[in-house]
Amino acid sequence: MDETENKTGPLVLLTGATGYVGSRLVPLLEQREVALRCLARSPDKLRPNVSASTEVVQGDVLDKTSLDAALAGVETAYYLVHLMASSTDFEENDREAAENFGAAAKQAGVKRIVYLGGLGDDTDPKLSPHLRSRHEVGEILRISGVETIEFRASVVVGAGSLSFDMIRSLTDRLPVMLCPRWLATPTQPIAVDDVLAYLLAALDLPPGESRIFEIGGTDIVTYGDLIREYVRQQELHRLLISVPVLTPYLSSLWLGLVTPATAEVGRHLIEGLKNPTIVRDKTALDVFDVRPVGTGEAIRRALKSGDSHSKAERT
């Protein structure tokens, strides 16, 4: 018997179910009136973490033929895949994966793709490879012909989030911090709970054209402000010294020494910190009932959650 027969409602496919956001979206989708199917390269590793009513199928977004069975009968597909951590040539791999998924979804008759990307100005000629790739993936999914709802977010604040863990580990370990110029870049962090709320709300949107929604918390801050707020809530004593000569590349090597992230992944993330990532289009607040919290509250929730989620679950 197909495991999805235990649940009624439209069939939803979730990719990236072992990632930071995806793993938190699973139990929320399981509470909805949908039949949930998860795509995994290693199904045996995922099955213990989902309910009995959730179907787990083997597949890989880089293997187009494996997507046909996974997308069969699917109404909404969540695309939460990012290959930055698994490949040095992540731009090409992300491009190929998105093309595979979009084409397979179109062929399967999928009605909607929901994708989580990144903020940043498309017209900025100095947009980092990381953010440029995030935007390109959204464009590829849209031109597939399947209605695509793309959410663009900046730093996701939550226990286990790679961006937040970088800030936490760096601040916890260095009493004196040499701060490169990118710490003055404006950003609009968003709590992971609010990201999940937007992703869930996309299920209920009436059918229509593909759309991009920029999402963020209530505050526009700098990365330095994020560190200072973390220091304040943890009651730490830290000295921040501005060193404008510390380049993003050197910063990533420095972060690789003091954070759980690898230097390669850290370098790609930090290259994006030179680009402002703020919400310029506030349409999401008109379309959805989600009301994101501010930076201070997002950090407070992350610290309260602590290590309840494995730090191994990161994107």
Question: Contact at 8 Å (CB) between 275 and 121?
Answer: yes
Range of the structural domain that residue 66 is part of: 3-156+190-215+278-292
Which segments of the chain have a pLDDT < 50?
A: 1-5, 307-315
Residue 235 located in a structural domain: no
Name the domain count of the chain.
1
**Within-domain flag for 40:** yes
Alpha carbons 104 and 229: distance in angstroms, whole number: 44
At 1 the pLDDT is: 37
Q: Is 76 contained in some domain?
A: yes
**Residue 167: CB partners within 8 Å, gap ≥ 6?**
223, 226, 227, 230
Domain-embedded: residue 162? no
Give per-residue pLDDT as tens, 256-302: 766 666 656 666 677 777 899 999 999 999 999 999 999 999 999 99
Q: What is the DSSP letter of 311?
A: T
Domain holding 139: CATH number? 3.40.50.720
The DSSP H or E segment spanning 269 is helix 263-271
Tell me whether residue 204 is in a domain.
yes
Per-residue pLDDT, 248: 66
Q: Count other Cβ atoms within 10 Å, centred on residue 92.
A: 12
The enclosing H or E element of 106 equals helix 90-108
Residue 236 lies in a domain: no
Q: Classify residue 99 as exposed, middle or buried by CB count within 10 Å of its CB (0-12, 13-18, 19+).
A: middle
Query: Could you report the per-residue pLDDT of 178-221, keeping only the tens digit for each?
Result: 777 778 899 999 999 999 999 999 999 999 999 999 999 999 99
Burial level of 116, CB count in 10 A (0-12/13-18/19+)? buried
